[in-house]
Amino acid sequence: MDDIAPLKAAALADFAAAPTLAALEQAKGAYLGAQGRFTALMKQLGTLPKEQKPAAGKAINEAKAELEAALAARRSELELQAALPKEPTDFTLPGRRRPLGRLHPLTQVTEDIVRSFRKLGFVVADGPEVEDDYHCFDALNTPADHPARDTQDTFYLEGQGRPLLRTHTSSVQIRVMEKMPPPIRIVVPGRVYRRDNADATHNPTFHQIEGLYVDRGVTVGDLKGTVEFVFREVLGEDVKIRFRPHYFSYTEPSFEIDFSNALVKRMGKDWLEIAGCGMVHPQVFENVGYDPEEWTGWAFGFGIERIAMLRYGITDIRLFYENDLRFLRQF
């Protein structure tokens, strides 16, 4: 009985000190193996007088159970240690992961255009794709019986006020001016919808960028200079633009912007129509509560697909929406 406690203590100390799983197995053998010291102690049980056997047996079994528990605990400790990396991990190191995926060409073109406008102090504004008649048409001086509505037929939804999918980002001009007093300098990239069949140059949904600049004394010259700056940045220094008189109900005067450079020449053309623009109509200012005697402004809108097609020499607009990896991986 007197040998049990010191032997147990020695075994527990050796188990706890074992530095590896192999060392632990060795220590286990030294005490509990066939030739082990603790096993030898147990063997002595048989030599004890009968009346001492129960107490000694109980003590030795309890000690053995303790040793086995200590072994198991140390074993899982060492297993965990073995599973940890040998070198400490520096979590502040930059990752080695390869970049996954890439930006869609339309996103790339949009970001380039927006970056260019930011240099001139424009900020990005946003508005809903599900619009109402008022913001898409009426507030832009296009009442229900106006012929311009025919060219912008769209998809109508069920619900109160007959919501529709916006036909242009121009609706965001109204939403921003309703909320904020002048001066305003915004660009609005976004998705628009038209009731149209899909072919090489048309799709029922596409993307536009709208611009709106309102301040005192704003001129057509500012408009022309701004558009020229951005197109040269996005499509090259050889870009020429020209303004042709046009009609939009929310601008007066209104223009279409034609554009020319080597890319257009490559398509066998001299000029390509690229955007609509003009000086904000006084009625539009009235509709949003701006004083047209005090404030002046210009606005424009153009299609992003058109510009991306030009830039990359793409001849079918539908390629943008098919998500064919063979196409997307080229950008």
Would you tell me which residues interact with ligand DAH (CB under 6 A)? 168, 170, 210, 248, 250-251, 276-278, 299-301
Minimal distance, residue 248 CB to ligand DAH, in Å: 4
Give me the phi and psi of 269, to 5 degrees please. -125, 160
Smaller CB distance to ligand DAH: residue 255 or 320?
255
Amino acid of residue 282: P
Determine contact, residues 249/282, Cβ cutoff 8 Å.
Answer: no
DSSP state of 94: P
Minimal distance, residue 172 CB to ligand DAH, in Å: 10
Minimal distance, residue 261 CB to ligand DAH, in Å: 21
End-to-end Cα spacing for the chain: 83
Minimal distance, residue 189 CB to ligand DAH, in Å: 13
Smaller CB distance to ligand DAH: residue 53 or 247?
247
Minimal distance, residue 280 CB to ligand DAH, in Å: 7
Smaller CB distance to ligand DAH: residue 73 or 123?
123
16 is written with which tokens?
Answer: 């706890």
CA atoms within 13 A on the CB side of 35: 1
Smaller CB distance to ligand DAH: residue 41 or 188?
188
* Pairing between β-strand 240-248 and β-strand 205-215 as defined by DSSP bridges: unpaired
Minimal distance, residue 321 CB to ligand DAH, in Å: 19
Closest-CA residue to 192 (of 172, 159, 169): 169
Which stretches of the chain are assigned E, i.e. beta strand? Answer: 123-124, 130-131, 164-165, 184-193, 205-215, 240-248, 251-260, 272-280, 296-303
DSSP state of 301: E
92/206 Cα distance (integer angstroms) = 42
297/117 Cα distance (integer angstroms) = 16
Smaller CB distance to ligand DAH: residue 15 or 206?
206
Minimal distance, residue 89 CB to ligand DAH, in Å: 54
Give me the phi and psi of 28, to 5 degrees please. -60, -45
Give SS3 for 255: strand
Smaller CB distance to ligand DAH: residue 78 or 120?
120
Smaller CB distance to ligand DAH: residue 28 or 168?
168
The total number of residues written for the chain in this structure: 331
